[in-house]
Amino acid sequence: MSDAPVIRLEKISKSFGEVRANHDISLDIHEGRILALLGENGAGKSTLMSLLAGQSQPDSGTIYFHGTPVSFSSTEKAIEAGIGMVYQHFKLVEAMTVAENIFLGRSDRVWLSRKGLNRSVAEIANQYSMQVDADTQVADLSMGEKQQVEILKLLFRQSNILIFDEPTAVLTPHEANNLFETMRQMKADGKAIVFISHKLEEVMSIADDIAILKRGKIVGLMEAARVSSTRELAEMMVGREVLLEVDHQPMETRQQVLKVSGLNKDGLKDISFEIRQGEIVGIVGVAGNGQKPLVESVCGLQKVDTGVITLLGRDSRDFFARRSWDKALSYIPEDRQGLATCQGLDMLDNFLLTTRQGFQSGPWLPKHEAREKLDYLIKEFDIRPPNAALLAWQLSGGNLQKMVLSREFYRKPRLIVAEQPTQGLDIAAAEDVWNVLLTAREQAGILLITGDLSEALELSDRIGVMYDGQLVSLFSRTDEEMIEAIPQMMAGLA
């Protein structure tokens, strides 16, 4: 295996209007090594890799492929060179099946029967321990399952240079471990891998080399073996010590804000629980075990046929027919692009999607007042770039999430449904969100849906485990015996 890099990025720069995403970046990618790309939200990681994948082109600088200058003018050109990327935001056709998405755009097969498509997908899914049904329509999949489809697409292409943009953000620890085993095998086969992640423990366990970006520039480049701890990495990323720990003090619970009784719908089986002001109830489980229909039922996105949901003392039908914009329910969806925001609107109009009644005066909507409030929230939540006129698609995934969080907390809710609230956030931003959620308990009850077990253990006052549409158990965060059994419950073994 040659010591020469398979890819060399030399003095790469890229801007989007006034936003400078990458500035004068030089970086080598080697065969048989895993390069971890770290940085805060908006540091330019995804932009840099999208240039390599042919998604867009640099404003200046040169990309060398095996020592030869190249121009990846399209994703097809990059794919032809053996470069494949799993994007942070999925690029799937919702109306097609898993197998159809995986084979979409491939020109090496003239005809394959549906049975043949499904069999081919099942074979490689089983090979890499992925639990996804090839015949299922993508629109019916959870976020975690959609991520698996993106990874399967990459594996089917047999790319030699693989870019993973936050691949474990929606995976359970077990699924993430399976992915890492796959990555190690790819590395042993001589493939070059770039791994973008905010999870520093993962970086330390899987990476050979680490590059750190800050505000579009490389500020650190080192072998992973030379890094002593995740704390050292965090300090290099954000310029201060970050522990990702919170002071979780017990709080007296008060009035009931949510009660679910005998809910049976879309695979849910007799779900019953309640949440009171002053507590966080965290729900954990492997993606696809009923979390999605539970959240949609509680938030009024699905009609409740069997069972009763009571929100702030009112039946769900009455609540959603006459609900207030503030001091009621705030929903932070897992899908920040498709459900939480409108990509073609600017930050101000996205802010007004759920807050406009607070600024409206009769038929008039004085946007200058909303802009003043949004400018304040942009500073409070450290949203970058701090420009309310930017369109949603121009923000990084993490900064878009911070915009959604700032909007929903501004509404002073009494019930918060937070679905994967720190997914895709850097370590400093995640710590801030954790503290905001704990503080919000003073005025609200919180239903936390998360695939991150450590997040559930840090934040929750009570923890519930879902498996096969059932709430297997609901217990106190101080119940050590039950906490030990969570992995078994998630797998349906207890």
User: What is the band of 325 on the pLDDT scale with cuts at 50, 70, 90?
Assistant: very high
Using DSSP bridges, classify how beta strands 445-449 and 209-214 pair: parallel, antiparallel or unpaired.
unpaired
Cα atoms in the 13 Å half-sphere on the side-chain side of 6: 21
Q: Which range is least confidently modeled, 280-289, 403-412, 418-427, 440-449? A: 418-427
Among 419, 10, 408, 6, residue whose Cα is nearest residue 191: 6
Cα atoms in the 13 Å half-sphere on the side-chain side of 95: 0
Q: Which range is least confidently modeled, 325-334, 417-426, 436-445? A: 417-426
Mean pLDDT on 232-258:
84
- Domain 7-238 falls in which CATH fold? Rossmann fold (3.40.50)
> Could you state, in order of their start, the residue ranges of all structural domains in the chain?
7-238, 256-490
For residue 465, the surrounding DSSP H or E stretch is strand 462-467
Task: Please give the C-alpha separations between residue 162 and each of 55, 100, 182, 289, in angstroms, as whole numbers.
Answer: 14, 22, 12, 30
Average pLDDT, the chain: 90
- In sequence order, what DSSP letters do the residues of 349-390 get, joined into one string? HHHHTTTGGGT-BTTB--HHHHHHHHHHHHHHTT-SS--TTS
- Whole-number pLDDT of residue 272: 98
- Whole-number pLDDT of residue 181: 86
> pLDDT by residue (tens digit) across 371-403?
999 999 999 998 988 999 999 988 887 789 889
Q: Which residues contact 438 (CB under 8 A, 6 or more apart)?
A: 246, 247, 248, 280, 459
- Whole-number pLDDT of residue 111: 64
Contact at 8 Å (CB) between 232 and 224?
no
- In sequence order, what DSSP letters do the residues of 266-281 get, joined into one string? TT--SEEEEEETT-EE
- Using the predicted structure, report yes or no on whether residue 479 has a pLDDT greater than 90: yes
- Whole-number pLDDT of residue 494: 72
> What is the C-alpha separation between 132 and 450, in angstroms, rounded?
20
Verdict on whether the full-model pTM lies above 0.85:
no
User: What is the band of 103 on the pLDDT scale with cuts at 50, 70, 90?
Assistant: confident
Three-state DSSP at 194 gives strand
- Whole-number pLDDT of residue 104: 85
- Using the predicted structure, report yes or no on whether residue 314 has a pLDDT greater than 70: yes
- Whole-number pLDDT of residue 108: 59
> What is the C-alpha separation between 332 and 340, in angstroms, rounded?
7
Share of the chain above pLDDT 70, in %: 95
Q: What is the dihedral of CA 299, 304, 310, 315, to 10 degrees?
A: 110
Sole residue written with tokens 């400078």: 20
Task: Please give the C-alpha separations between residue 66 and each of 6, 28, 207, in angstroms, as whole numbers.
Answer: 5, 11, 22
Phi then psi for residue 249, to 5 deg, are -95, 135
> What is the C-alpha separation between 161 and 145, in angstroms, rounded?
23
- Whole-number pLDDT of residue 266: 87
Higher pLDDT, 122 or 311: 311
The string over 445-456, giving b where at least 16 C-beta atoms fall within 10 Å of a residue's C-beta and e elsewhere, is bbbbbbbbbebb
Contact at 8 Å (CB) between 264 and 270?
yes
Instruction: Give CATH for domain 256-490.
Output: 3.40.50.300
- Per CATH, 7-238 and 256-490 having the same topology is answered yes
- Whole-number pLDDT of residue 107: 60
> What is the C-alpha separation between 142 and 287, in angstroms, rounded?
6
- Whole-number pLDDT of residue 433: 87
User: Residue 62 CB: number of other CB atoms within 10 A?
Assistant: 14
Three-state DSSP at 112 gives coil
> pLDDT by residue (tens digit) across 125-174?
887 767 789 999 998 887 678 888 988 888 888 789 999 988 887 666 66
- Using the predicted structure, report yes or no on whether residue 411 has a pLDDT greater than 90: yes
Task: Please give the C-alpha separations between residue 16 and each of 27, 37, 302, 390, 391, in angstroms, as whole numbers.
Answer: 21, 21, 39, 10, 11
Share of the chain above pLDDT 90, in %: 60
User: What is the band of 318 on the pLDDT scale with cuts at 50, 70, 90?
Assistant: very high
Sole residue written with tokens 């006034």: 18
State the greatest distance between any 2 C-alpha atoms of the chain, in Å, as a whole number: 71
Higher pLDDT, 16 or 271: 271
> pLDDT by residue (tens digit) across 66-87?
999 999 999 889 988 999 998 7
Contact at 8 Å (CB) between 263 and 290?
no
